[in-house]
Structure 1
Amino acid sequence: MSRKSRLLVFGLLLLLASSLSGCTSSGGATKTAPRPGNLAPDFTLYTLNGKRISLSEFKGQRVLLNFWATWCGPCRRELPYLEEAFQSKGTEVKFLGVNVGESPSEVREFVRANKISFTILAGAKTTDVAEAYNVRYIPTTFLIGEERVVENVKIGAFASLGEVLNFLRESAPVK
């Protein structure tokens, strides 16, 4: 199946599933999502400005990795809390938002309109990364430690800034 066909099928499945039960993703059913204590899969994606970024570049730093989409209501509701957390903790934790399955131009406009300043990754390969992390529902957030080990996972939206900060605090580094 071509990449374009795969993206179309992925998008249609997301739309159908989200209309039935909230925001979902069609991540591979046979894969297991990285759990706390597991090594986070490495990936390389592009920012909205075209800069190439790999997870492995952030060795020695903690990374909050959030999978989301502009059409997902819970994702839209949690983004301001993630932005606030980034403003207060962005020097301690690298924030990466992985937009799943939308074009960079579409995402760029949304990010600008909503004043999101943490790094957003978008483009064709984001669906592959979502599959590698077995993301079935969005938003899904991973906290990845300094050695690329998953410290915490949250499926669903953060309901407050306090919840995001607790997620960061309660995630004891796993060595």
Structure 2
Amino acid sequence: MKKIILVALLCFLFANLFAQANSDSLAYQLQRKKINSMLAERSLKFGQYDKSLSEHSGIFGLQTKKDIRRSNDILMDIVKTDNDIYKQLKILLEYRTFQQSQVQDKSKETETNALGFMYTIKQLRDQVDQLKKLGDKNAELQNKASRNFIIIVIILLMIILMLLRNQIRAKEDKQR
């Protein structure tokens, strides 16, 4: 019965840990999707930058200041997007580290609980063994006491019978 309770408790703890891991991995997946969308946005911006470099609206097919400024603006926008991506990647990595430390903490806690339960079960088994030994000892003492009581009763009956016999002989001797 105790084993069943222990197994049920461990199953409950692992199910709880698994449910929490699923919710954590959902947030992790959302963060990854956000980073992937930012990377797709950066790719589009880089395509615009590449296109702006090939535009030459000046005389004799040269780039004008306006073309260069537009390319620089797009490039600055790419740099800002890259910085945002780095920030989000850092958050993702910190989140992953946090998840791993949480899993390790839960694992240690579960292991500690399991060891505590096993120690408690061992103590209870030892107590049961001690109580069995004490019960056996008490039963043996009670058996001895019962034997002694029966022996005393038999001895008393024999004494009473001897006394009655002696009285009967004494009456017979008086009557004769």
TM-score computed with the length of structure 1 as normaliser: 0.18
Higher-strand-fraction structure: 1
Structure label with greater radius of gyration = 2
TM-score computed with the length of structure 2 as normaliser: 0.18
Higher-helix-fraction structure: 2
